Amino acid sequence: MPQGQPETVPDDGLTTRQRRNRPLLVVHTGEMKGKSTAAFGMALRGWNAGFSIGVFQFVKSAKWKVGEETALRALGDVHARTGQGGAVEWHKMGEGWSWARKQGSEDDHAAAAAEGWAEIARRLAAQTHDLYVLDEFTYPLDWGWVDVEEVVTALRQRPGRQHVVITGRRAPSVLVEAADLVVEMTKVKHPMDAGQKGQRGIEW
Give the pairing of strands 131-135 and 163-167.
Answer: parallel
What are the phi and psi torsion angles at 55 (to 5°)?
-110, 130
Name all domains of the chain by residue range, CATH numbers in brackets.
20-187 (3.40.50.300)
* Chain segment 28-53, per-residue pLDDT in tens: 999 999 999 999 999 999 999 999 99
Q: What is the mean pLDDT of the chain?
A: 88
Element (H, E) at 184: strand 181-185
Measured CA distances, 127 to 23, 176, 179 (Å):
12, 23, 19
pLDDT the model gives residue 14: 72
pLDDT the model gives residue 84: 98
- Long-range contacts from 78-85, C-beta under 8 angstroms, 24+ separation: 79/47, 85/47, 85/48, 85/50
* Chain segment 89-111, per-residue pLDDT in tens: 999 875 443 333 455 677 878 88
For 1, other C-beta atoms within 10 Å of its C-beta total: 6
Cα 53 to the chain's mean position, in Å? 11
Q: In what order do the strands lie in the sheet with 25-30?
A: 88-92, 53-57, 131-135, 163-167, 25-30, 181-185
Measured CA distances, 132 to 10, 24, 63, 99, 108 (Å):
27, 11, 21, 24, 24
Cα–Cα distance, 55 to 42 (Å, whole number): 11
Element (H, E) at 113: helix 106-126
Q: Estimate the share of the chain in helix, then strand, then coil, as percent rounded to the nearest 5.
A: 40, 15, 45
* Chain segment 2-34, per-residue pLDDT in tens: 566 777 777 777 777 767 779 999 999 999 999
pLDDT the model gives residue 10: 73
